[in-house]
Amino acid sequence: MSDKISIVVPCKNEEACIELFYDAFVGVISTLPVEYELIFVDDGSTDRTLEIFRTLARRDASVRYISLSRNFGKEGAIYAGLKAATGNLVGLMDVDLQDPPELLREMYHGIKKEGYDCVGCRRTTREGESRVRSFFARAFYKIINRMSDADIVDGARDYRLMSRRMTDAILSMSEVDRFSKGLFGWVGFRTKWLEYRNIDRVAGSTKWSFRKLSKYAIDGIEDFSTAPLKINFFLSLLCMLGALGVLAAHIVFAATDARFHEFMELSPIFIAVLFVGALILFGMGVLGEYIAKILHEAKHRPVYLVKETEDDLKKVDRETREDTLQYR
């Protein structure tokens, strides 16, 4: 049986890139001994993105598209595309050609010949990125890897090719707040990393502001770690130790030395404040634990909603054809 590769491409306002991407992609994929489908996801674009998808889908039967009812964010768009994919190998690519299509050959080889479940790409440099952004990005990867059990690789892009079983594993996680970088690491499976230098996007502009990236980072930590909720336990322990320390000092000084008069007067207040503080923080820690559990259970909303797909386009095209035939 020959292989079928499905490539999912999320797009938000990418009219300038889509055709350039399509040409470059077809140039590479047609050299591989595979069938393929290209699944574009229109993530609430307000420019000509959807029109370009329609044109490509009419021209090339391997092109499919899903247009979402609004902007659900790259993660939602990826999920929509992965769900629609029918290939036995499934990949993700950005449309701005920052993910070089030539690497697809090596990715395919890695899965077919070397037996990996996933071949992903890592950029080794952060050229073209501001220093502040690089600094925060690096710090983020250090922190999240320390705090969670998802193995998240610094510099890993979403660009990857996966086996069907890994794709199904990703799809089996139906949570709403999807932090793909974490999900890919969390499911495990053997992953090979290809390294390359950072490339600037061919056209258009990045969809990520610093504010959006910070939110993304914080979401990632919250989705894969409940450590922040446990800070209260740690603080309550500190308070308790403080209270015990002051109490011990009070007893020692009361027995041996009456010179610490002021301290003796105030120490009961210190003890009471620290002790009550410890109790409150402990209570909050317990609440935090339960909130963390609820957080994990409460994610039932759909991740995306579809407005139009290439099937709708074909139906409309067929109907217009029949109408014109009838009235001729």
Chain positions contacting ligand UDP, by CB under 6 A: 10-12, 14, 43, 71, 73-74, 77, 94-96, 98, 201, 206-208
d(CA 269, CA 261) in angstroms, rounded, equals: 14
Nearest distance in Å: CB 59, ligand UDP: 21
Minimum gap (Å) between residue 188 Cβ and Mg ion: 27
Please count the residues of the chain.
328
Of the pair 17, 246, the CB lying nearest ligand UDP is at 17
Nearest CB to Mg ion, comparing residues 6 and 98: 98
Handedness of CA 219, 214, 156, 150 (dihedral sign): negative
The item of ligand UDP, Mg ion, none sharing an interface with residue 95, based on CB under 5 to 8 Å by kind, is ligand UDP
Contact of residue 12 among Mg ion, ligand UDP, none (CB under 5-8 Å per partner type): ligand UDP
Q: How far is the CB of 157 from Mg ion (least distance, A)?
A: 9
Contact set for Mg ion, span 94-153 (CB under 5 A): 94, 96, 98
Q: Which residues ranging from 72 to 101 are in contact with Mg ion (CB under 5 A)?
A: 94, 96, 98
Least distance in angstroms from the C-beta of 311 to ligand UDP: 21
Burial class (CB in 10 A: 0-12, 13-18, 19+), 45: buried
Q: Name which of ligand UDP, Mg ion, none residue 183 binds, using a CB cut-off of 5 to 8 Å depending on partner kind.
A: none
Distance CA 317, CA 264 (A): 89
Query: Could you say which of 48, 201, 230, 299 contacts Mg ion (CB under 5 A)?
Result: 201
310 touches, from ligand UDP, Mg ion, none (C-beta below 5 to 8 Å by class):
none
Q: How far is CA 89 from the centre of its chain?
A: 20
Provide the H-helix boundaries in the chain. Answer: 18-29, 49-59, 73-84, 103-112, 131-147, 164-171, 180-186, 210-224, 227-256, 261-297, 310-327
- Tokens 């193995």: give the residue: 151
Stretch that binds Mg ion, among 13-21, 166-174, 200-208, 305-313 (CB under 5 A): 200-208
Q: For ligand UDP, give the closer residue by CB, 68 or 278.
A: 68
Biggest distance spanned by C-alpha atoms of the chain: 112
CB 97, min distance to ligand UDP, A: 10
- Using the minimum distance from each CB to ligand UDP, give the nearer residue, 14 or 37: 14
Q: In DSSP terms, which residues pair with 42 in a beta bridge?
A: 11, 67
Closer CB to Mg ion, 20 or 247, in the complex: 20
Backbone dihedral region of 327: left (phi > 0), alpha (psi from -120 to 50 degrees) or beta?
A: alpha
Nearest to 40 by CA among 32, 48, 31, 49: 49
- CB nearer ligand UDP, residue 30 or residue 206: 206
C-alpha dist (Å) from residue 178 to 76, 78, 232: 7, 10, 26
| Of residues 37 and 42, the one with the C-beta less far from ligand UDP | 42
To the nearest whole angstrom, how small is the minimum distance from the Cβ of residue 269 to ligand UDP?
54
Residue ranges in contact with Mg ion by CB under 5 A: 94, 96, 98, 201
